[in-house]
Chains A and B, each alone.
Chain A
Amino acid sequence: MFEAHLNERESRIEWPLWVAIAGLMLMGSAFIFSATSTNETISLWQRFRDSTWESFLTWLIPKAYSKQVIAYGLGLFLAAAVCLVDYHRLARWSLVIYWFSILLLVLVLFIGVGAKSWGAKRWLDLGFFNFQPSEFAKLAFLLALANSLSRPVEELRLPGVFFKMLAMGALPFLLILKEPDLGSALVLLPIALVMMFVAGVPPIFLKRLVGGAGALLVLLLADILFAPMKWQPLEEYQRDRLLVYFGRDFAPPNGTDEERKSAFKRQRDRSRNIEQALISVGSGGLIGKGWGRGTQNALGYLPSAVAHNDFIFSVIAEEKGFLGSVIVLTLYTVILFTGIKIAGQTRHRLGRLLAVGVVTMLFSHVFINIGMNIRLMPVTGIPLPLLSYGGTSVLCSLIAIGILQNVYIYRRSY
Chain B
Amino acid sequence: MLIFDQLRKGDRDLQLLAVGVLGGMGILLASLWYLQVISAKRYRADLQGQSFRAVRVPATRGKILDRNGHALADNRPCYNVNLYLEELRRDFFFHYTNRVKPGFVQANPKTKLTRAVTDELQRQARHQVVSNYLAHVSGVIQQPRLLLEKEFHRHYDQKRSLPLPLLTDLSFQQVAMFAEKAPNLSSLALEAQPLRVYRHKSASHASAAAHLVGHLEKYDSTNDNELATQFRLLRLPDYRGSKGIEKAFDSELRGKPGIKLVLVNSMQYRQSEEMWIEPEPGQNVVLTIDLAIQQAAERALAAYRDGASTRGAVVVMDANNGDILAAASSPAIDSNEFMSSLSPDRWAAMKDENLLPLFNRALYGTYQPGSTFKIITGLACLEAGLNPDETFQSKGYFQLRPRGRQWRDTAGEGAFNFRRAFCYSSNPYFQSNGVFRAGPQRIMEMGQRFGLGEPTGVTKNLEAKGYYPNHEDLRKKDGGRWMPGDTANLCIGQGELTVTPLQMAVLTAAVANGGKLWQPRLVARVERQESDSKHPVVEYPAGQLRGAALVNPQHLALVRQAMLDDVEYRDPLPPYRRATGYKAFVKGMRVCGKTGTAQVFDEHGQLKEYTTWFVSFAPFESPRYVVVVVIEGGGSGGGDCCPIAEVVYQALLKIDAAG
Contacts and interface: CB of A to CB of B under 8 A. Distances in A.
Interface in B23-74: 24-25, 27-29, 31-33, 35-37, 39-40, 42-44, 46-47, 50-51
Contact of A322 (B17, B25, B33): B33
Contacts of B20: 363
Contacts of A26: none
B265 A198 contact: no
B11 A344 contact: yes
A322 B40 CA distance: 10
A344 B5 contact: yes
B2 interface: yes
19 contacts: A278-B43, A279-B46, A281-B36, A282-B39, A286-B36, A317-B36, A321-B36, A322-B33, A322-B36, A325-B29, A326-B29, A326-B32, A336-B21, A337-B3, A337-B18, A340-B2, A341-B6, A367-B28, A371-B28
Interface string A283-319: 1111000000001100111010000000000000100
Nearest to A266: B115
B3 A282 contact: no
Interface residues of B, number: 41
A16 B29 CA distance: 21
A374 interface: yes
A286 B37 contact: yes
For the complex of A and B, 7 pairs with smallest distance between CB atoms:
A282-B43, A300-B266, A322-B36, A299-B265, A285-B40, A283-B47, A283-B43
A1 interface: yes
Given A197-B13, A299-B271, A333-B25, A285 B6 contact: no
A283 B5 contact: no
A285 B266 CA distance: 21
B266 A344 contact: no
B14 interface: yes
A357 to B, nearest CB: 11
Interface string A1-30: 100000000000000100000000000000
B305 interface: no
B264 interface: yes
Contacts of A325: 29, 32, 36
Contacts, number: 126
A370 B17 CA distance: 19
B355 interface: no
Contacts of B266: 299-301, 303
Contacts of B47: 279, 283, 295-296
Contact of B27 (A279, A341, A376): A376
Interface in A358-377: 359-360, 363, 366-367, 370-371, 374, 376
B276 to A, nearest CB: 16
Contacts of B11: 344
Interface in A256-298: 262, 278-279, 281-286, 295-296
Interface string A200-212: 0000000000000
B17 A356 contact: yes
B263 interface: yes
Contacts of B40: 282-286
Contacts of A333: 21-22, 25
B654 interface: no
B39 A279 contact: no
B267 interface: yes
A197 B13 CA distance: 8
A198 B17 contact: yes
B90 interface: no
Contacts of B46: 279, 282-283
B403 interface: no
A367 B29 CA distance: 11
B9 interface: yes
Interface string A170-190: 000000000000000000000
A296 B48 CA distance: 10
Contacts of B18: 337, 340
Given A322-B32, A359-B17, 15 more contacts: A278-B35, A279-B47, A282-B39, A282-B46, A283-B46, A285-B36, A295-B47, A299-B263, A322-B36, A337-B3, A337-B21, A340-B18, A343-B17, A344-B11, A366-B28
Contact of A338 (B2, B13, B35, B267): B2
A72 interface: no
Nearest to A352: B14
Contacts of A286: 36-37, 40
A123 to B, nearest CB: 26
A158 interface: no
A332 interface: yes
B32 A281 contact: yes
A238 to B, nearest CB: 19
